Amino acid sequence: MRRRALWSSYLGSAIEYYDFLLYGTAAALVFPSVFFALDPALATLASFATLAVGYLARPVGAIFFGHFGDRIGRKRMLMLTLYLMGAASFAMGLLPSHSQIGIAAPIALICLRLVQGFAVGGEWAGATLLSMEHAGGRSRGFAASIVGSGAPTGAVMATLVLMPFAALHESQFLSWGWRIPFLLSAILVGLAIYLRKSVSETPDFLAMMAARADEGSKRKVPLLIVLENYPSQLFFGVLGTLACLAMTTLTATFMINYAITVGGHSRSGALAALTAVNVLHIFAIPSFAMLSDKIGRKPVMLTGAVAGIVLIFPIFWLIASGKTGALLLALALCNPVVHALMGGPISAWLGEKFAADIRYSGMAVTFQLGSTLSAGFAPLVATWLLMRTGGTDPTLVAVFFIGLCVLSALAFLLSPESYRQSLPLSTKASPPKMRVIPRAQES
Partner residues linked to 421 by β-bridges: 436
SS3 content of the chain, % helix, strand, coil (to 5): 80, 0, 20
Looking at residue 341, what is its pLDDT? 96
Looking at residue 247, what is its pLDDT? 94
CA 43 – CA 235 distance, rounded (Å): 35
- Residue 71, SS3? helix
What value, to the nearest 5°, has the Cα angle with vertex 381 and ends 380 and 382?
90
Amino acid 223 reads L
Residue 161 burial (CB count, 10 A): 18
DSSP 208-264: HHHHHHHH-PPPPPHHHHHHHH-HHHHHHHHHHHHHHHHHHHHIIIIIHHHHHHTS-
Q: Which residues contact 43 (CB under 8 A, 6 or more apart)?
A: 32, 33, 36, 37
CA 245 – CA 381 distance, rounded (Å): 14
CA 403 – CA 309 distance, rounded (Å): 8
- Residue 401, SS3? helix
Looking at residue 427, what is its pLDDT? 65
Residues of the chain with pLDDT under 50: 429-443
CA 357 – CA 129 distance, rounded (Å): 12
89-114 tens-digit pLDDT: 899 889 888 888 888 888 888 899 89
Domain chopping of the chain, boundaries = 2-201+220-437
CATH class for the domain made up of 2-201+220-437: mainly alpha
DSSP 338-372: IIHHHHHHHHHHHHTTS-TTTHHHHHHHHHHHHII
